[in-house]
Structure 1
Amino acid sequence: MNRTQARFVALWSRSGGAHAGNVYAELARCYAEPARRYHTLRHVRRCLRDLDLARGSIPDPDAVELALWCHDVIYVPGARDNEQNSAVWFRCRAEGRIAGCERICAMILATTHTGVPAGLDARFACDIDLAVLGAPRGRFREDGELLRAERPELDDRAYDRHERAILGGLLARPRIYQTDFFHARCETRARSNVTWRLGLRMPE
C-alpha cells in the first residue's frame, strides 16, 4: 500500500466509512481514466499538500479532505455536471455511515466556483482547489497545457474563449481566494499568472 492509498484508507475509516480499500481502488481507477491529464491523483495530492499547510486554520479538516479527494472523481471533459455526479458518487459510497455527508457533498458542489460558499470549510475546499493558480509561473504554464490536453475536441480559438471565460471570471472577483490563509499566500501570484495568461494573444 503506497502513502496516497494509506492516507485515504485511514481517513475514510476514521470518518466511519466502510470498505475503504475498495473505495480507494475505484477512486484511483476514476482518476486514471485516459481522457484525464490535469484532473488526476496528482492534482489531488497537490490539494492535500495545501490542505496540510492550512490544517490549523480549517474548522473540520477531515471533512474538507474527503471533499477534496472526491471533488473530481467523476470527470467528463466539457460536461457541466461533473461536480454533481462526484457528489453523488461520494454519497453512494458513504452509505449513510460518514457524518456530515451532505455538508461534504455541498463542499464538492462548491468547487464549481460559481459563487462564494457560506461556510468556512467550503471556502477552504474551493481555495485549495484553486491554489494551483498561485503556483510559480512554470508550473502554472504546465497546468494550463494539461488542461488544454483534456479538450482536444475544441480548436484553439474555441478553447481560448472557454479559458478566458473561466479565468476572466475569477480575475473580476474582488478576491480570488475567500479565506484569509490562501488570500495572503496565493492571491498576488494568482492574479499575476491569470493576467499573464489572459494577455497572451491568439494567432491571427
Structure 2
Amino acid sequence: MEETWNEVLRDLSVPEDIATKWWSQIMVQYTESARIYHTMDNYLRKKFEIYDIMVKDNISERSAFVLAMFFQHYEHDTNVYGDSIDKNVEHVKNFFKDAGINHEGLISTVVGLLGAACESGSSKEGIDAYFQDLELAALGASPDEYVEYITDIEKEYSNMPAHFYRSLRLKVLQTLLLIPKIYSTDLFYEKYETQARENIEKEINEVLK
C-alpha cells in the first residue's frame, strides 16, 4: 500500500517529505487501538487487494480513487458516522493544501467520493459506483470470512449498547435486501451479489434469534 501511495503522489509531483509525512499520519490513524475492523491490515489492505484485481483497470481517475480510499476512514468515529465523513473531507483538503495540489477536478472527485460513500443511486459503471461496490465487497465474502467481519464490526462498536447496535444493524441489513442490486457494477454484482445476500439473510436470522 505504501508503494501505491508513493506512486500516486509522485504522479502528482508531491514532494517526498510531504508524502512521507502523510503516510506516517495515515499509519497512525489506521492503527489506533480502538479500531478492530477498520485497520490497516484487516480493512485497508484487503480493499487494495480487490482494487488491484477488480477496479484499477476499469477506471480512469485512479489517483482520485486511491486517495479517497486512504482518507475514507482516516478518522473513524463509531459514535457519529456522518461527522466522520465531514472530518475526513477536511483532512483530505488539508492534505491537498499541504501537498500543494490545486487541481480542482481531482479535489472535487476525491471529496465527492468521500461524500458518496454512504449514498445510493450511483451511475452503473462510474467511479462512484466502483467506490461504493468496493466498500460493500465484505458483504460478499466467504461465510467464514463474513463471520469474522461481523464479529470485528460489533467489537468496534462496543461503545454502543448491544441491543441498540443490533437494532441498527438489522435495519441496515433489511434495507440492503430490499435493494434490487446491492452492487451497481456488473463486475461486483457477478462476483459478490449471490453470496452477499446469503450472508445477509443468515446474519438477519441470527440477530432475530
Q: TM-score, normalised by structure 1?
A: 0.90
Which structure dedicates a bigger proportion of its chain to helix? 2
Partner of 1:90: 92
What per-residue deviation string (whole Å, max 9, x for no partner) do you get for residues 22-57 of structure 1?
011011101111111111112111111111112222
C-alpha spacing 1:66/1:201, structure 2 compared with 1 (3 Å): closer
Partner of 2:127: 121
Gaps of 5+ in 2: none
Conserved? CA contact 1:176–1:187, under 8 Å: yes
Instruction: Name the amino acid aligned to 2:89.
Output: A
Q: CA deviation at 1:69?
A: 1.4
The CA RMSD measured in Å over matched residues stands at: 1.7
Question: Aligned equivalents of 2:63 and 2:189: distance in 1?
Answer: 22
Pair 1:190 & 2:196 matched:
yes
The percentage of counterpart residues that share the same residue type is 20
Question: Aligned equivalents of 1:59 and 1:185: distance in 2?
Answer: 22
Question: Aligned equivalents of 1:141 and 1:25: distance in 2?
Answer: 31
Equivalent residues in 2 for 1:134-173, closer than 5 Å: 134-173=140-179
**Which consecutive segments of 4 or more residues in structure 1 shift more than 6 A?**
none
Conserved? CA contact 2:170–2:207, under 8 Å: no
Q: CA deviation at 1:98?
A: 5.9
Q: TM-score, normalised by structure 2?
A: 0.88
Conserved? CA contact 1:123–1:178, under 8 Å: yes
How many residue pairs end up in the alignment? 199
Gaps of 5+ in 1: none
From 14, 17, 28, the counterpart of 2:11: 14
Pair 1:102 & 2:108 matched:
yes
What per-residue deviation string (whole Å, max 9, x for no partner) do you get for residues 68-121 of structure 1?
111100111121221221121111101251631111111111112x32234711
Instruction: Name the amino acid aligned to 1:185.
Output: K
From 160, 176, 184, the counterpart of 1:178: 184
Conserved? CA contact 1:157–1:202, under 8 Å: no
Instruction: Name the amino acid aligned to 1:139.
Output: E
Q: CA deviation at 1:166?
A: 1.8
Equivalent residues in 2 for 1:13-32, closer than 5 Å: 13-18=10-15, 19-32=18-31
User: What SS class does the counterpart of residue 81 from structure 1 fall into?
Assistant: helix
Question: Aligned equivalents of 1:39 and 1:16: distance in 2?
Answer: 29
Q: CA deviation at 1:201?
A: 4.1
C-alpha spacing 1:94/1:165, structure 2 compared with 1 (3 Å): same
Question: Aligned equivalents of 1:202 and 1:156: distance in 2?
Answer: 13
Partner of 2:71: 70
Instruction: Name the amino acid aligned to 2:121.
Output: V
More displaced stretch, 72-81 vs 90-99: 90-99
Question: Aligned equivalents of 2:136 and 2:102: distance in 1?
Answer: 26
Question: Aligned equivalents of 2:189 and 2:113: distance in 1?
Answer: 19
